[in-house]
Amino acid sequence: MTIPTVHVTRTSTVLQPNQSRVLLRPFNPGDEQRTCQIIGRIMALPEDQIAPLVQGICDKFCHRHEDIQKVCLERYGQICDILPQGQELSELRRQLIGSYFLAEYSLESAALFNPSIVRHPDQTGLSTGALRFVLSLRATGEGHVSSITFRTGIIHPDKSIEVLTPVGFLTEPRQIANPGYDKPLFERKLAELNLNSEFTRRIMGKLPDSFTLEELRATLKAEQFRLPDGMTQKDQAAAQGVWMLARSNYEVQFQPGQELSERIIFPATPSQRNGIEDARFVCFQNDDGSLDYYATFTAYDGKIVVPELVETADFLHFRFITLNGPAAINKGMALFPRKIGGRYAMLSRQDNENISIMFSDNVHFWNESTLLLKPVFHWELVQLGNCGSPIETDAGWLVLSHGVGPMREYCIGAFLLDRDDPTKVLGRLREPLLKPNAEEREGYVPNVVYTCGFLIHEGDLIIPYGLADHATSFATVPLSEVLAAMEPDLAVTT
């Protein structure tokens, strides 16, 4: 049997990490005592030196950051509680103090890779046959800390791919100060975390069906003083668990005037301390036909990796959601773009080697998984995983996979699932679609091509992919050729 040829076209577009793209972040040089000492030295500066110092900071950094003086004042406001009460300071001195507790962080100093791509919510003003897209990327900087950055681009009618030049400024979103929570959902998450003690039941019993973070804080504080001797050690641990769960489910908001390439999602919780890695965005169609964008990602605290979820309708307002249940483990969870049989569906990797599939009535909870594919071919014998969310075609659900082979080489393959019952594998490719060529082998991690999501446009697969965990490029592949090359006799799990 002759296997049809699959023609892969690599584009000339390469997105390289740019060390000049810097973000202003809080700088904490030490404990409160050292902070006070630093502020004391700044307070000792004569008033006539303050304005020239502030002006010098503005001259040096205003072209790198938007409204640098406002940012310095905001940072001052975050640390001013340790200053003596009743002390009046000029605005310029407050700006100067704030500047000493800020630092630039180069988001992309190490790498810009592992992209995913989705249809942009705004398709106005385009020529017939063109498509505007949102590209998310993993940006890695100092300390190997990863965050999510964005680009926009256009697939033109002639099939050329244009990624728009990013703006010069970078901005983190504002955390919504007092987010709300659904009590039944929160209680279910507590139970999944084995935090269903008498203490947590008493706390939850005092809260309304919909409560805010401040209401939870007040309830926990009241419990602290309920008994003369305060809370027991066991109840203190439970209270910390309740509070950590609440803080791990949070919301952020960008300003509408900020360009998409200006928006940076930086780690914000203890579980994300060392990185938000490999976001797999998908445009999800709800039961009523409306669209939301979900992304599964790997949160890394320096020791443990856990899968988490982020949701947005407009790439301005993002909700971060913990994933719970015994099947919500490991890396590489990827959500299907609609419910199947009335349930959410997700691909996952439960055991570091194989691809599994799971279903749930709630996108936050994943309890059981079914083995879908095991490594079979020489280029995937170390492990298999998905390369983003499945895409629906007339032939079935098309999934890109990654396989790890000899010399820890990562390649991109593909397989096909039944539309109505995606536990059925209809076919898979014997050979990878993409494997590192001579120009793609060198980088931060050699011999790797990898993607976190693709799309189909005008009969072609549009695949953005990471090069050696360093940079990002694009490839296009005719969908018809991929489907024709699927071998049904390989649709087995062993």
pLDDT digits 0-9 by tens, 72-127: 999 999 999 888 777 789 999 999 999 999 999 999 999 999 999 999 999 999 99
Least confident range of 196-200, 289-293, 443-447: 196-200
Domain at 9-18+109-172+251-490, CATH homologous superfamily: Glycosyl hydrolase domain; family 43 (2.115.10.20)
- Domain boundary assignment for the chain: 9-18+109-172+251-490, 22-106, 180-248
Are 47 and 88 spatial neighbours (Cβ–Cβ below 8 Å)? no
| C-alpha–C-alpha distance, residues 422 and 346, integer Å | 10
Give the span between the Cα atoms of 456 and 462, in whole angstroms.
6
pLDDT band at 494 (very low <50, low <70, confident <90, very high): very low
481 pLDDT tier (thresholds 50, 70, 90): very high
Biggest CA-to-CA distance, the chain: 86
Q: Are 261 and 163 in contact (CB under 8 A)?
A: no
pTM for this model (two decimals): 0.93
Rounded Cα distance, 207 and 201, in Å:
10
pLDDT digits (tens, 9 = 90+) for 337-372: 999 999 999 999 999 899 999 999 999 999 999 999
Cα separation, 349 vs 332, in Å, equals 6
Residue 411 CA to residue 447 CA, distance in Å, equals 9
Taking the CA atoms of 469, 474, 475 and 479 in sequence, report the sign of the dihedral they define: positive
Please tell me whether residue 391 adopts helix, strand or coil conformation: strand
Helices (H), 62-102: 68-79, 91-99
What is the rounded CA–CA span in Å between residue 104 and residue 18? Answer: 14
Decide if 354 contacts 373 (C-beta within 8 A). yes
Task: Return the sign of the alpha-carbon dihedral for residues 141, 145, 150, 155.
Answer: positive
